[in-house]
Amino acid sequence: MNKAKLQRELLKAKFSLLKDIETDQKQKLPQPLLQKSVKEDEEIIVLPKVDRNVIVKRDIFDCIMDRSSSRVYAEESLSLEELSFLLWSTQGVKKVVGKVNFATFRTVPSGGARHPFETYLVINRVEGLKKGVYRYLPLDHKIVFLFDKNNMEEEVTEAFSGQKFIASSAVVFIWSCIPYRSEWRYDVAAHKTILQDSGHLCENLYLACEAVGCGTCAIGDYNQEIIDKFLMLDGEEEFVIYAAPVGKVKNE
């Protein structure tokens, strides 16, 4: 029980402590980048402009009522337009504020508009895209191709504790967090906020999937070390925090 008590502390708000803390923002230390940079030799793909015409279910009541976790997917591919919509729905940038990219207002809320996440995509079946791992560039609404592996399905299954249905999806959304984006402003109060923010973006994915005839399933059961290594993350300054496979709903 003592172990549980220790973990429960993470669930408690710590904003009252900030009055006695000189956060990095208060010290006027440099703000972390709003998104990771791209290497010169990496391939960038421009996504289609977000188009409401990809929506097949427009009634928000129906989307909420029908929302459920889907673990069986059709072999059908997602269109690039559908992927564009899903990425925009979960991390899309509506406005950049400040003289030098101080913050972004997006399609999901985030404490202090810090948005500490990066979106990685394991692409299996998306029209116009080769299989492989990509990263979303929300400021530009583009994706960058990172790498491909011959045994990618096996590695993904291993990373997600043997849950084979995940690798059978059209695309796996994997969200990493860069804690310092939030710590820069909120210091010890940042970490509960990061967890809350991850829930915001995943629920938006659920509703957006319903709107375009797809299914998804939030995944919290993964091997931290294996999934971080798979994405070549250091596990300290950036690490995986949440994931969700997406695919076309399989008709019974």
Q: Which amino acid is at 93?
A: V
d(CA 141, CA 91): 10
Q: Which CATH superfamily is domain 2-36+45-248 in?
A: NADH Oxidase (3.40.109.10)
- In contact, 224 and 85? CB cutoff 8 Å: no
d(CA 107, CA 182): 18
| DSSP letters spanning 175-215 | EEE-THHHHHHHGGGHHHHHHHHHHHHHHHHHHHHHHTTEE
Q: Under DSSP, is residue 105 helix (H, G, I), strand (E, B) or coil?
A: strand
Torsion sign, CA atoms 240, 16, 13, 111: negative
The alpha-carbon radius of gyration of the chain (Å, integer) is 18
| pLDDT tens for each residue of the chain, 252 residues long | 688 988 998 899 999 999 999 999 999 999 999 999 999 999 999 999 999 999 999 999 999 999 999 999 999 999 999 999 999 999 999 999 987 779 999 999 999 999 999 999 999 999 999 999 999 999 999 999 999 999 999 999 999 999 999 999 999 999 999 999 999 999 999 999 999 999 999 999 999 999 999 999 999 999 999 999 999 999 999 999 999 999 999 875
Domain ranges of the chain: 2-36+45-248
Q: What are phi and psi of 216, to 5 degrees?
A: -150, 170
Residues 6+ apart with CB under 8 A from 75: 125
User: 46 pairs with which residues across the strands?
Assistant: 142
| pTM given for the model | 0.96
